[in-house]
Structure 1
């Protein structure tokens, strides 16, 4: 495994549980922006992240990210392609749909009425920095394997199948994603289908094998 991939695995994929607990998504985001390590990478492209005032922006120079849509339908520059957002690895739609509050008014109602939802929405163990365009394209799609080469975002190795509503993340971020799902399952009782559990366990195992094969004895 090339050195830069190993570095990404160390800086991005390692999953350490954070003890800080928040009850507001906005508060959690402010905390993450303030405490983001200088060597942090975006989850789907492995791009370096730079600070621009109080904002975070991706640096595509090394990771090779190119926007799928550099401009919006109205002809304006795609602002989400040049900013870092905080991605819910388990989408709010996914865990929200498992709560009664969502059935009675969607996310807005859950934020207003459900302490459980607010904790899940603001849990920083389920949040990762992502380029805004890819965060938007991922939407609430499930993770899986997608046929073909990754060409939608330049050299970024994430693949999105909009028709099938499936996202295949690059190899170096898969364990981080799997760990987040199992964390949410253990902490909040998130229901995960058997098919998805098998996929996530496979991703965890692949990461362990890759780590072991690169251990210097």
Structure 2
């Protein structure tokens, strides 16, 4: 009888990663996550991301929440409270707004024309089953500490501050969401505020990698072809972390946005004030009021930040400096 050596096993494992077939769309990612990553987690393990609820699989990627399993109580949206949805730990709105495609036409345009955005949207290290209502309430909010207040979802301890646009996940997954966030920002060269970095670094230290998180990483790596190095310990995040940008191999050329005329403010272009070194997102109070002579356009927040600009105070998301 022949036995495989440690070296042989390692070779087989590396080969299997090389032959991995990552999903190419978010729709495909949900089905793959259900069948190859979370297939046995509906009634075992950590439960859904934000509340620890069990669920029953329905269809290719859906599920029906067992509210009694986690003491969940509906806040406002009964239909979404009853179903499993797939949460982007780093919201598509956040990573999309750092892509030129979003400035040109929003999420639909990114899905149609930007292979990097599609890769980010379908990256299984950023996709996790969640109670639909909490997924909806979290929206595109940054993670933060939410003080006080009565429980919003019964025994579920995740909290959402709608006024401050911040979400604080339950303690059991704070480390997990931190390491997933580090992975996305590192792999795709995203820009993270100092305040958000400090919070997630604290969660990473306070809530170390669990046995399930290692298993999640192992299962996901077999599909994606690589591990999350912030789970395996190969990489750590420190302030001023320089992203590896390993996920940008297929990056399409970035088009330079034209500066809007004095009479119009085009699309989703980010407008900077060359005098104050402040930039404004579309929909923010001062977006259209920058004097034409001081107006400069950026294709993304990352470009504005890289040029030395900071976001306007009246346009600031929680967790941004």
TM over 0.5: yes
3-state SS in 1 of match to 2:90: coil
Matched, 1:130 2:130: yes
Q: Which residue of structure 1 lines up, in the alignment, with residue 67 of structure 2?
A: 60
Q: CA RMSD in A?
A: 2.0
**Residues 192 and 150 of structure 1: is their aligned pair in 2 closer, same or farther, counting only changes over 3 Å?**
farther
Q: Which residue of structure 1 lines up, in the alignment, with residue 317 of structure 2?
A: none
Q: Distance in 1 between matches of 2:49 and 2:207?
A: 15
Q: Distance in 2 between matches of 1:205 and 1:147?
A: 21
Structure 2 contact 175–203 (Cα < 8 Å) conserved:
yes
Give unmatched runs, 5+ long, in structure 2. Answer: 1-16, 212-321
Q: Which residue of structure 1 lines up, in the alignment, with residue 180 of structure 2?
A: 180
Q: Distance in 2 between matches of 1:164 and 1:210?
A: 30
3-state SS in 1 of match to 2:64: strand
Deviations 1:41-80 (A, max 9, x none): 111001112223543122121211111015xxxxxxx321
Matched, 1:69 2:69: no
Q: Which residue of structure 2 lines up, in the alignment, with residue 50 of structure 1?
A: 56
**Residues 61 and 196 of structure 1: is their aligned pair in 2 closer, same or farther, counting only changes over 3 Å?**
same
Q: Which residue of structure 2 lines up, in the alignment, with residue 167 of structure 1?
A: 167
Q: Distance in 2 between matches of 1:150 and 1:179?
A: 28
Greater relative contact order structure (CA < 8 Å, 6+ sep) = 1
Q: Distance in 1 between matches of 2:202 and 2:91?
A: 21
Map 1:186-205 to 2 at 5 A.
Answer: 186-205=186-205
TM-score, reference length from structure 2:
0.55
**Residues 98 and 34 of structure 1: is their aligned pair in 2 closer, same or farther, counting only changes over 3 Å?**
same
3-state SS in 2 of match to 1:105: helix
Give unmatched runs, 5+ long, in structure 1. Answer: 1-16, 71-77, 212-217
Q: Distance in 2 between matches of 1:146 and 1:20?
A: 39
**Residues 177 and 103 of structure 1: is their aligned pair in 2 closer, same or farther, counting only changes over 3 Å?**
same
Structure 1 contact 150–156 (Cα < 8 Å) conserved:
no
Structure 1 contact 126–184 (Cα < 8 Å) conserved:
yes
- Number of aligned positions between the proteins: 187
Point out the more displaced range, 54-63 or 24-33: 54-63
**Which of the pair has more CA radius of gyration?**
2
